[in-house]
Structure 1
């Protein structure tokens, strides 16, 4: 990046001047930094940060400056950057080819390092790309519009920067590798490329923390933590460090639609942090003024305490979770709802209903709790998925659900 570009970005981020690399960050300075980072990354000027666009490149340059000011060591292949090119297949049955040669779309991971002279390294990551003007993956049904992705995932990227500021000033026995991934929205491209072309020895990685959509903590202070089954060391410490009385909702699986999956598939323990789905997901309305910044800071501080607690343990053991054996149900139909991933009661609570889908046609609404589909009792997300996998296009079934305490029934046609 040229000097003019660097100063332009610095001028756009006034909060950086209030925080020096030799100063231990206070909660107030961290909060201001989170707001500044999310506001910049989720601004219309960056056009939605789709991989290969000018907006994505500007976001990467912004993070490069942040990492440099914090004092992180460059750990990409081009200083802080790790460029990669993805060649899209012409045959829809072929996978995209991720590498550095050939024609295609080029993205870049941004990577910084804290070297504490340890044999073990903790990777902390978040993707910084989003959907650009929408296209594939958007849930928007209007004209083409900028998808700013404030929660998805400017929030996780800002949390990544905040943790780098904190951990730079704490004494730990582990090294830290901070990675801002690109291409996540297209199929975990950046994290997939990194694990196959690591800039450190993967054998030294103790575990990986992924923050994806951590900016919309609800009034109950719910925090979902996925991947707790990937190491026996995780569960015993999660409540120990929960000094903010967060409502923790955990799942064992190391596989999910975010970058931690790439590391889990390399037999590395992973944790994915998530504050829940919402109706602005993958829509132009996911803007920075909707972020719960106090809640975002709570996520950052929780992860810092967790890292500190785990740092006292030897290298973590890795455990495969059930879904890695192919036990996850496969289904060919959709009900057209967004599940509430933070719900821990009986059944599957609906967090959103898509237009012109079976659920809307049947009269199902946000907040309804599905208790039965056909002959299958729904007790949790997995039983809902198993029930759904039994149906084909054109099938009809009855759905029993609860709404405001009342038990109701609807007829659904797929």
Structure 2
């Protein structure tokens, strides 16, 4: 009898550990092409307030329409203004170390940027907001900082995720927001949230920032479970055999990992007491350097990372609905 029980236990362990990853079908070629487009030299690093930043936003709006997103209150984009002082170039970045001369030629004046957005309506009036920033560092010392991983990768993923869910209705509304001015203090995300109607119906922010570059072990992190442990179960049900999907970078008491809670646009939602999940990779050798180009991303890793994020959104959508009902 003991031998039979032992064999049954072994079978159960093998069965559970060999659960097949869910098949997620996306247009990988289109995903990569959109990243290549946004990180092209013609966008000159997509600096906040630059003509190339506007060009990127117009490209994003057209891609949102092509993905089937509907306008929000009749619009796909909003402009906003901000006053940047030279001293802010350094003071605005307590978390990430950045080049200090990005805005050395910008006087104390009001400049204009903008966000792009669209929605897929769900079965309830509750909303999940999926964000990624499209701005980067522009041109520094005559070198173009293309920002392929940071964050053309997140924006390209938005298009692919929207197309995936276009014909797969979710319980929640899915709002896709390509926000500006992350590199100067998440001004675009802040403006978006402050001007979003029915803000009280937002149940989750999913933020994508740097998801296409893994130098060594192919690691994608989901960050936020320290603050929102109830989200762990649906994420643990995400399966992949091609990359490592890990949790962490959210515990302020963990001295072995950087705390990413305030490292990108999700911090705006966190400060507004809206739960978030941030998907990203650790800083790599090309982070905030002119070498962050399409040539240095990891194509296979990026494709699988987007599939993992899609699985995560599906699971979180169902989990949050069940918890609320």
TM-score (norm 1): 0.62
State the partner residue of 2:71.
Answer: 74
Task: Verify: 1:86 aligned to 2:82, yes or no.
Answer: yes
Of residues 49, 53, 62, the one that matches 1:56 is: 53
Indicate if the aligned counterparts of 2:235 and 2:316 stay in contact, CA closer than 8 A.
no
**TM-superposed deviation, 1:242:** 2.3
| Higher RCO (CA-CA < 8 Å; seq separation 6+) | 2
Bigger shift: 112-121 or 151-160? 112-121
Where do 1:300-339 residues align within 5 Å? 300-314=306-320
What is the CA–CA distance in structure 2 between the aligned matches of 1:316 and 1:148, rounded to whole Å?
42
**TM-superposed deviation, 1:252:** 3.2
Q: C-alpha deviations, 1:60-114, integer Å up to 9, x for none?
A: 01111101111101127x7211110002247769x99xxxxx9611111100101
Indicate if the aligned counterparts of 2:85 and 2:109 stay in contact, CA closer than 8 A.
no
Indicate if the aligned counterparts of 1:231 and 1:316 stay in contact, CA closer than 8 A.
no
State the partner residue of 2:207.
Answer: 210
What is the CA–CA distance in structure 2 between the aligned matches of 1:234 and 1:92, rounded to whole Å?
36
Where do 1:22-41 residues align within 5 Å? 30-41=27-38
Indicate if the aligned counterparts of 1:207 and 1:316 stay in contact, CA closer than 8 A.
no
**TM-superposed deviation, 1:232:** 2.8
What is the CA–CA distance in structure 1 between the aligned matches of 2:238 and 2:217, rounded to whole Å?
18
State the partner residue of 2:296.
Answer: 290
State the partner residue of 1:193.
Answer: 191
What is the CA–CA distance in structure 1 between the aligned matches of 2:199 and 2:237, rounded to whole Å?
29
What is the CA–CA distance in structure 2 between the aligned matches of 1:114 and 1:243, rounded to whole Å?
26
Distance 1:52 1:300, change over 3 A: same
Of residues 220, 231, 236, the one that matches 2:233 is: 236
Give the SS at the match of 1:313. Answer: helix
Where do 1:10-21 residues align within 5 Å? none
**TM-superposed deviation, 1:214:** 0.6
Structure possessing the higher radius of gyration over alpha carbons = 1
Q: C-alpha deviations, 1:200-241, integer Å up to 9, x for none?
A: 311111100111111113453211221112323222222211
Give the SS at the match of 1:311. Answer: helix
State the partner residue of 2:248.
Answer: 250
Give the SS at the match of 1:125. Answer: strand
Task: Verify: 1:272 aligned to 2:292, yes or no.
Answer: no
State the partner residue of 1:149.
Answer: 147
Distance 1:247 1:106, change over 3 A: same
State the partner residue of 1:259.
Answer: 265
Q: What is the aligned-residue RMSD (CA, Å)?
A: 2.6
Indicate if the aligned counterparts of 1:63 and 1:110 stay in contact, CA closer than 8 A.
yes
What is the CA–CA distance in structure 2 between the aligned matches of 1:110 and 1:157, rounded to whole Å?
11
Indicate if the aligned counterparts of 2:131 and 2:176 stay in contact, CA closer than 8 A.
yes
Q: Which runs of 5+ in 2 are unaligned?
A: 1-22, 93-107, 252-259
What is the CA–CA distance in structure 1 between the aligned matches of 2:155 and 2:86, rounded to whole Å?
32
Q: List 4+ stretches of structure 1 deviating above 6 A.
A: none
What is the CA–CA distance in structure 1 between the aligned matches of 2:25 and 2:272, rounded to whole Å?
38
TM-score (norm 2): 0.78
What is the CA–CA distance in structure 1 between the aligned matches of 2:274 and 2:215, rounded to whole Å?
30
